[in-house]
Amino acid sequence: MAVAVAARRVEIGGQGDFLAALDGNPEFRVPQGQTLVLRADGNGFVAEGGAGGRYERLSFASLSPSRYLTVDGRPYRGTLEAFAQRAAVTVVNAIGIEAYLGGVVNAELGRRAVPERAAVEAQAIVSRTYALHNRGRFAAEGYDLQAGVADQVYGGVGSETPLGLDAVRATAGLALTHDGDLIAPFFHSTCGGRTATPEEAFVGVRALPYLKAVRDQRPDGGAWCDASPRFRWSVEWEGAVLRAILGRTLPAALGVDAATVRDVRDVYVRRRGASGRATDVRVRVAGGEVPVPAHAVRTVFETPEGRPLGSTAVEFEATAGGGSLARLVARGGGWGHGVGMCQWGAVGRARGGQDHRTIVNAYFPGTSLARWY
């Protein structure tokens, strides 16, 4: 698990004494209260503190099982390995998968209350399946997964809670399968009432029988995720602000010449997918139209604050002025790509009395819950 990637400087510490080793042999000991700064230096790194020196690789282990190592002040179970890579430093946390999940479930789902336990158990199952399915994804880089949103958020010991740890233990070894194989699971914050298919959100992800557009509504007609603070949202751009944003994002995302969007006249949704999400958005300009495909909508229509658009479940309302677009309002529902498990929907379902099996089957229809180990 890579907890620091391509860093110029990383600080390694410990809640107690810890040992630095080179090729399995003790190199030096760092006493409690002292930190070791690894600073990139060409094809190696300098270890400032401890015995010092220049290295290409070092491993670290706490000398007390009850005291954790830290990376930039954040504590982690297991051991650490640091290595030089492309004039930078990468730090990997070597940890068993069940211990890893303890630092994932609440980092992903937020700190939950006891009545929401089934949602935490569902997150543990989906996150375990994700980790198993994607193990070795970055093997060429020297690790399995990354600790951030490129994979799933892993916060180490600081993200653990008693409820989260209990949920991991209660579901130990359980994973989602289809035809006997681990599935490719996805999850997101808030679906807004209906989940998306992969082709509505990603490039190069084939259609899978268990990733469908699921109608995610309670018997009373409300959405299971309507307690989410991002269930409904809106964004507004003044014309000049939008032109500046599109002049930067369209070339970066789609290779469009920035000069093409100097005169933006309209923005509208031309086509929608199975879930109702926008799969083809058109930017009307003086010389025609620029098509924005599904996978690029959120990054192209960056908010004035510099964030991606909340989701592609969106309507655009354009106001013209003097022949050009003077104002654009986007009104949307949900947050994230919309594929797979809706995390706020899982919370709503748990509050409604559903167990973890019912929750994961709702979002991944046709799958089986199997004890993988």
Please tell me whether residues 121 and 209 are part of one structural domain: yes
DSSP state of 133: H
192: left (phi over 0), alpha (psi -120 to 50) or beta: left
Per the confidence metrics, is the pTM higher than 0.75?
Answer: yes
**Shared domain check, 219 and 121:** yes
Rounded CA separation 42/155 (Å):
29
Over residues 147-160, mean pLDDT: 95
- Terminal C-alpha separation, the chain: 20
Same domain, 12 and 157: no
pLDDT digits (tens, 9 = 90+) for 327-373: 999 999 999 999 999 999 999 999 999 999 999 999 999 999 999 99
Do 323 and 341 sit in the same domain of this protein?
no
Q: Which two tokens stand for residue 218?
A: 């309670």
For residues 128-145, average pLDDT = 96
Spatial neighbors of 195 by CB under 8 A, at least 6 apart, are 212, 213, 214, 216, 275, 338, 339, 340, 342, 363
- Please tell me whether residues 297 and 360 are part of one structural domain: no
268 and 316 in a single domain? The answer is yes
The number of angstroms, rounded, from the C-alpha of 11 to the middle of its chain's C-alpha atoms is 24
319 and 350 assigned to the same domain: no
- Judge whether residue 50 has pLDDT over 80: no
> Does 242 share its domain with 301?
yes
Residue 101: what pLDDT? 98
Q: Is residue 51 predicted with pLDDT exceeding 80? A: no
Higher-scoring residue by pLDDT: 135, 206: 135
Same domain? For 49 and 181 the reply is no
Q: Based on the structure, what is the number of domains in the chain?
A: 3
The tokens of 319 are what?
A: 């106001």
Specify the pLDDT at position 371: 96
Mean pLDDT within 290-305:
97
Residue at a domain's end among 95, 125, 149: 95
* Residue-range definition of the domain harbouring residue 275: 232-333
352 vs 286: CA distance, rounded Å: 52
- CA separation for the pair 40, 55 (Å, rounded): 10
Residues 28-55: what's their mean pLDDT?
92
Q: Helix/strand/coil (H, E, C) string of 170-205?
A: HCCCEEEEECCEECCCCEECECCCECECHHHCCCCC
Segment holding 168, helix H or strand E:
helix 162-170
Instruction: Write down which residue in 95, 122, 143 finishes a domain.
Output: 95
Strands 341-342 and 187-188, sheet pairing: parallel
Place 69 in a pLDDT band, splitting at 50, 70 and 90.
very high
Strand 368-371: give its sheet, edge to edge. Answer: 181-182, 174-178, 368-371
pLDDT number for residue 323: 84
Q: What is the mean pLDDT of residues 180-206?
A: 95
Confidence of residue 199 (pLDDT cuts 50, 70, 90): very high
Chain segment 249-289, per-residue pLDDT in tens: 999 999 999 999 999 999 999 999 999 999 999 999 998 99
pLDDT on residue 301: 98
The whole-number pLDDT of residue 35 equals 94
Q: Considering the chain, what percentage of its residues have pLDDT values greater than 90?
A: 95
> At residue 52, does pLDDT exceed 80?
no
When pLDDT is cut at 50, 70 and 90, the band that residue 49 belongs to is: confident
Residues 216 and 356 in one domain: yes
Confidence of residue 11 (pLDDT cuts 50, 70, 90): very high
267 Rama class: left (phi>0) / alpha (psi -120 to 50) / beta: beta
CA Rg, the chain, in Å? 24
| pLDDT average, residue stretch 51-72 | 93
Q: Would you say residue 224 has pLDDT above 80?
A: yes
Domain finish residue from 45, 72, 95: 95
Residues 158, 304, single domain; the answer is: no
Are residues 238 and 181 both part of a single domain? Answer: no
In this structure, which long-range contacts are made by residues 133-138, counting pairs with CB atoms below 8 Å and at least 24 apart in sequence? 133/182, 133/183, 133/184, 133/185, 138/2
Distance from CA of residue 139 to its chain's centroid?
19
